[in-house]
Structure 1
Amino acid sequence: MTIDTKTSVRLTIDDTSVKAASGETVLSAARRAGIDIPALCHEEGMAAWGACRLCLIEVEGLDKLQAACTTQVADGLVVRTNTARTRAKRASYLRMYLSDHNSYCEAPCKDACPAHIDIPAYIKQIEDGDFAAAAATVRKEMPFPGILGRICPRYCEPVCRRGEVDEPIAICALHRAAGDHAPAALVSAHPSGHRVAVIGAGPAGLSCAWYLTAAGHEVTIYDKAEKPGGMLRYTIPEFRLPESDLDAELQPLWDAGVRFVENVALGVDINPYGLLQAGFDAVFVGVGAWQTMPSRIPGHEAMLDALRLLRDVGEGKKPTLSGTVAVLGDGAVAFDAARAAVRQGAQSVVLVSRHPADDVEAGQRELAAARAEGVQIEALTEAKRVKLRKGGKPTALECVRLEADASGKLVEAKGSRFELKVDVVISALSFAPDLGEGDDELTLSAWNTLEANHYTGRTKSEGVFAAGDAVTGAKSAIHALAGGKRAALSIDAWLRGVDLPELEAKLALYAGLPYLEQLADAPQLGELGQRLAERSPVWLKMGIAADRAARATMPTLAAAKRTTSFEEVERGLKKKAAQAEATRCLQCTCPSLGECDLQRLGVEYEITSNELVRPSSRVRSITPRYEHPFIRRDMNRCISCGRCVRVCRDVAGPACYDFRGRGFLMEVDTPYGESLQLAKCITCGRCVSSCP
């Protein structure tokens, strides 16, 4: 814009001298000078509207805040755009807009899932009755929906926004339903000519093998056990994961040509270097964490090893227990051991956890299941000593209560020492990978785990990758599966010549970017980088328009049968029940993620809490209109800024849109509520491009 010096004025905006044309608005002058003033209703080249009230500014000499889009420049005018007062007022308007915004930017459940499964997509497919498509969607990021649907800790459900209305969606039960009601399938790409060895047939190794096979590579899995599955087969009891269901989900691997070699141990029979020398192009190590770390608790020699106990149970030995059994730990292994002890004859079982009951490592699913079977929980408790009788058997467990100190660290509460009378103590506290006699090719961390890049699983040895519990220490199966998938994608890329160190550097840099920059820069990572990347979303607080609806109840084995058999407890949802549950999903997705001005401003003004959003608050609920070939009208997302109304009327000409109703009932629609085509739409798309 060229400014005529004869009619120009000079004003000060945020201590910057700005030259402007007489009759120009402060908003226009500021933007030309590179000073950002937010405005959602402003459309360049059109008359000021002033509806959104986000462009409010302080003008020296005036008490009230002024709208920058309607305030004209004047000589000597002094303006401040970013004061505490203007920011507070803008934030208040943003809270109002977001409180009536019946939509969401992206799904918290997908972000919380370690495998980042597209949860809204497969739930919508289940709602539509397409279980095969739902299973395929899950398998794109996690190969075994039926297995994980039975055992996953459900990191996704506590963050589900449906929980703000009534109860979270039964996400885990739904992806089990996808696995149960659709045949498992693995389609291999055209053979690549590359051979990859996978050491370890647990969750990480099986996941890695699945995605390598899908990419067309020839895979051979080595494991020290007789059957594949690792912890899935040998430590998770059948009352949680029946062996038949495990075998059914693994069958596509063998059908696709994956070879399994049993009774072969890392560091004893094989090592990565030897496999590379034997002709494999890459090696993946996912041996899990099968070694129980020595306890420092006095009397530890009398404790049973939880992993050994569960393995005996898994192999059909089923050792008999009696009296009171104490289990130390609160991970999945600890809870499985506790529930197995109930079935093995223990009169009572108590689980000793250092964490609060609502924060046990295994998650609330396992806590609830254990309590339902009579397991007692001693939360915020630490075992200090196992008291032994003559002969070396336990008689009591000496414990202390824990409390948080000023820094939040858990410490022993004064005078809290007490004893639990016990007959058996089972340790499930800490586990490490069993590397046999060790291998110089594998670098260990200070925690006795394998060192590998978080994003790619690449180790310091050329062509050797690692993931799962062997790298992270004992975590959940979904973490191991996610790690195996990332390693498989990375191995495939490495075999195709991708520079992984360069990609790792980009991913590390990306992880440190602010959220909005992550969204903007994601395309630069490429397809592989985006699948490996970790984002840090900012969760805005928005309104929800949904009627209360009961969460699906998982059918379970009768309580009287649970503790006397190893029969599966959770029976799974039938198709109709799964479809009904899927209708409760709020579908927290938006096609304009990262390109939405409302989202950008919500993040910039930190609208992560919102006192206007309450369970009883009224929120607009309008049926979306998709009758046009490419213009999708979803007025649940509308903030009534008027830009589409004005641009269609004053620029394009047809005047397809207008405001209807008042207050909370106001919406933008065609004049008589008809389709856009009947409203003489010329399909120019200006309404779409103008929407903020």
Structure 2
Amino acid sequence: MNVRLRIDNREVEVPEGATLLEAARALGIAIPTLCHAEGLPPSTSCMVCVVKVKGRDALVPSCAVRAEDGMEVESETEEVAAARKAAVELLLSDHVGDCVAPCHALCPARMEIPRMLRQIAAGAYADAIATVKRDIALPATLGRICPAPCEKGCRRAARDAAVSICLLKRFVADVDLESSAPYRPACAPPSGKKVAIAGAGPAGLAAAYHLLQAGHACTLFDALGEPGGMLRRKIEPGRLPPAVLDAEIARVTELGAQFVPGTRAGADVPLAELRGRFDAVLIAAGELPAEAFEALGLPFGPRGILADKKTFATPESGVFAAGGVLRPLRMAVRAVADGKEAARSIDRFLTGRYSMAHDERFSTHIGKLREGEIDAFMTGASPAPRVVPAGDGMTPEEAAADAARCLRCDCRKQHDCALRHLADACGARAHRYKIERRAFAQLRRPGVIYEPGKCILCGICIAIAEEAREPLGLTFVGRGFNVRVGVPLNAGLAEALTKVADRCVRACPTAALAYDAD
């Protein structure tokens, strides 16, 4: 027997006994869930799947309420959205974990540093350079001149000394430059769009590198006779050998970038002409005198061209600015980061997805560690001291030893965490509800790690273990605000999950249960 109901003014017929969540999915309506797992009984612990049923005063959890004939349901009202956001923020108030590691957060280019370190420690250099060059176009160059702001966030310094992140980035970049088959990113099919880049310094080169991968043709104009900008003019050859810079620039031109030397935007070729010949223009010419800004015809202030700080868009449609033309820069890595983000905005503009909004991902942070918490982080890290290279740069053995010192502060599911995705979607704030946070802790079994501070008490892992008849399994322990998922009889995680560890990891909506090697 079937029942008929309406959800968001759309009629649907489902078998008797189906839930409102199942009925919504039959219509293609996406209702978020965190504590729901197919085939397991509903727990209604997260309350992010609530909907409004006509005639009922309170919102109801769609995962548990059965569809009834004649029901009228709304899934996207302001009341529903506010309730879901509040539910997510309540879960976040008790969340202990970093979405991204402190080193990652402090890297201007937002490179996934812990992932690179794990790959280097494993000798997976091809994977490591792919991780690096996803965000940094000139890693061998920056590895020699960057002051390493990322290392200021390295928690390992609380025990002895920070991991040598910058040297390790240089190591894997040098390995790649010397390789007979160096890394070459995949490029999308040609889009038919053309971008003029005024300035072939770090910002312009980085922008070209990322735009070419998106399929857009790039032409770099520069006043100098060869690309490199301030990297060639201001860095001593002893710190940055020209051969290294040339090799990295070649990686950009090999993707199809064209270079026009001895040409200044504004002075030698008017901005209006570039705008007419190209679909978008990026001004990345470094620090300029006032007369150069005037020649460009763009509004500028005491520090540089006026542009949106997040999208890099100027008031002139289709014209963007990045790097030293916006404000004086002391670090080349910031120019490279600008180029990457400007390329992203230009790509969105060229593909019709552009808006002045900048979608930064939601992130939570543990903050300052309490006494003793560094010990929990040290559990899976090498206890060895920081490596001091014997020569110029690291050997493979030195690189592996120092990379193994990483504490793995990053979330093992930062790209797949359902809680993070939902926080993004509803615009949640991490600390709307302020409570004293739990202590950071980790439990391990071979291949799997459990971090109680990331657990939202959905009970999915408990139900899976019970269904599989694990000898011990998992259970809720404690009372009130101190409830957590634990192992009965204070046994270890290896004893608790002898059959279904993989299934529990895959089903966990956060990184409370995760693969240790991810």
* TM-score bin, normalised by smaller chain: 0.5 to 0.7
Match in the other structure for 1:300: none
Q: 1:550 to 1:654 in 2, by over 3 A?
A: closer
Q: Is the 8 A contact 2:190 2:215 kept in 1?
A: yes
Larger Rg: 1
Q: CA deviation at 1:437?
A: 7.0
1:439 matched residue in structure 2: 295
Shift of 1:491: 1.1
Residue 152 in structure 1 maps to residue 128 in structure 2: no
2:493 is matched with: 669
Instruction: Provide closer, same or farther for how the CA distance between residues 482 and 686 of structure 1 changes in structure 2, counting only shifts above 3 A.
Output: closer
Aligned residue among 392, 403, 409 for 1:588: 409
**Counterpart amino acid of residue 657 in structure 1:** G
1:141 to partner: Cα distance = 1.1
Distance 2:458 2:292 in 1: 69
Deviation at residue 118 of structure 1 after TM alignment = 0.8
Partner residue, 1:248: 247
- Listed one character per residue, the Cα deviations across residues 345-384 of structure 1 (whole Å, up to 9, x for unaligned) are xxxxxxxxxxxxxxxxxxxxxxxxxxxxxxxxxxxxxxxx
CA gap 1:603/1:113 in 2 versus in 1, 3 angstroms: farther
Question: 2:267 corresponds to which residue?
Answer: 268
Could you tell me how far 1:602 is from its partner in structure 2? 8.5
Distance (Å, rounded) in 2 between the aligned partners of 1:460 and 1:126: 44
| Partner Cα separation in structure 2 for residue 548 and residue 489 of structure 1 | 40
1:634 equivalent in alignment to 2:449: yes
5 Å matches for 1:113-124? 113-124=107-118
Deviation at 1:111, TM superposition (A): 0.8
| C-alpha separation in 2, matches of 1:676 and 1:199 | 60
Structure-2 change in CA distance of 1:637 and 1:168 (3 Å): farther
1:6-405 aligned at under 5 Å gives the runs: 104-182=98-176, 183-277=182-276, 279-289=277-287
**Equivalents in 1 of 2:364, 2:502: separation in Å?**
41
Match of 2:334 in 1: 479
Q: Distance in 1 between matches of 2:404 and 2:319?
A: 45
- The aligned residue for residue 657 of structure 1 is 473
| Residue of structure 1 equivalent to 2:307 | 452
The residue number in structure 1 matching 2:8 is none
Corresponding residue SS for 1:156: helix
- Distance in 2 (CA, whole Å) between partners of 1:500 and 1:434 is 29
Structure 1 letter corresponding to 2:138: F
Indicate whether 1:625 and 2:446 are aligned.
Answer: yes
Q: 1:605 Cα shift?
A: 3.8
**Cα-to-partner distance string for 1:509-554 (whole Å, 9 max, x where unaligned):** xxxxxxxxxxxxxxxxxxxx34xx6867452636233263211213
| Aligned-partner residue type, residue 548 of structure 1 | P
The Cα of 1:189 is off from its aligned counterpart by 2.2
TM-aligned CA deviation for residue 450 of structure 1: 0.3
Residue 462 of structure 1 aligns with an amino acid whose one-letter code is S
Q: Secondary structure at the match of 1:158?
A: helix
SS at match of 1:219: strand
Distance 1:534 1:476 in 2: 26
Q: 2:396 aligns with which of 575, 599, 623?
A: 575
Q: Relative to structure 1, is the Cα distance of residues 652 and 576 closer, same or farther in structure 2, using a 3 angstrom cutoff?
A: closer
Corresponding residue for 2:16?
none
Aligned counterparts of 1:180 and 1:153: Cα–Cα separation in 2: 18
On the 8 A contact 2:389/2:398 being kept in 1, the answer is no
Task: Compute the displacement of 1:649 (Å).
Answer: 6.9
Q: 1:652, CA displacement in angstroms? A: 6.4
Q: Deviations over 1:368-417 (max 9, x none)?
A: xxxxxxxxxxxxxxxxxxxxxxxxxxxxxxxxxxxxxxxxxxxxxxxxxx
- The number of residues matched between the two structures is 395
Q: Which one-letter code corresponds to 1:231 in the other structure?
A: M
Residue ranges of structure 1 left out of the alignment (5+ in a row) = 1-43, 47-93, 290-431, 508-528, 557-570, 614-618, 627-632
The one-letter amino acid of 2:324's match is D
Query: Normalized against structure 1, the TM-score is what?
Result: 0.50
- Tell which deviates more after alignment, 256-265 or 476-485: 256-265
Q: CA offset at residue 624 of structure 1? A: 3.6
Deviation (angstroms), 1:439:
2.8
Q: Deviations 1:409-456 (Å, cap 9, x if unpaired)?
A: xxxxxxxxxxxxxxxxxxxxxxx55653723631102x1400111122
One of 344, 347, 350 as aligned partner of 1:489: 344
Cα deviation, 1:260-305, whole Å, max 9, x if unaligned, reads 111112332123212123x21111101111xxxxxxxxxxxxxxxx
Shift of 1:654: 4.4
Q: Distance in 2 between matches of 1:653 and 1:272?
A: 71
CA contact (8 A) 2:270 2:296 kept: no
Between the aligned partners of 1:480 and 1:606, the Cα distance in structure 2 is 39
Structure 2 distance, partners of 1:606, 1:142, is: 38
Relative distance call for 1:233 and 1:624 in structure 2 (3 A) is farther
Distance 1:685 1:648 in 2: 11
For residues 536 and 483 of structure 1, do their structure 2 counterparts lie closer, same or farther at Cα, with a shift above 3 Å needed? Answer: farther
Matches within 5 A, 1:420-431: none
Aligned equivalent of 1:464: 319
Deviation, 1:181, is 0.7
Contact 2:135 2:340 in 1 (8 A): yes
Q: Tell me, in whole angstroms, the C-alpha distance in 2 between the residues paired with 1:188 and 1:674.
A: 43
Q: What TM-score do you get using the length of structure 2 for normalisation?
A: 0.66
Q: Tell me whether 1:550 sits opposite 2:388 in the alignment.
A: no
CA contact 1:108–1:159 (8 Å) conserved in 2: yes
Q: Percent identity?
A: 32
Classify 1:623/1:470 alpha carbon distance in 2 versus 1 (closer, same or farther; 3 Å).
Answer: same
| Offset of residue 148 of structure 1 | 0.9
Query: Deviation at 1:113?
Result: 0.8
Unaligned runs of 5+ in 2: 1-40, 44-93, 177-181, 421-428, 476-485, 514-518
Distance 1:476 1:642, change over 3 A: closer
How far the C-alpha of 1:675 sits from its partner, in A, is 3.1
Separation in 2, partners of 1:283, 1:654: 61
Deviation digits for residues 185-244 of structure 1, max 9, x if unmatched?
344321111111110111111111111111111111111111110111110111211111
Amino acid at match of 2:367: W
- Give the secondary-structure state (helix, strand or coil) at the position aligned to 2:419: coil
Shift of 1:106: 2.8
Three-state SS of the structure 2 residue aligned to 1:181 is helix
Displacement, 1:635?
3.5
CA 1:623–1:206 in structure 2 vs 1: closer, same or farther (change >3 Å)? same
Deviation at 1:254, TM superposition (A): 2.0
Q: Which letter maps to 1:478?
A: V
Alignment check: 8 A CA contact 2:466 2:473 kept: no
Give the Cα–Cα distance (whole angstroms) in 1 for the partners of residues 396 and 101 of structure 2: 24
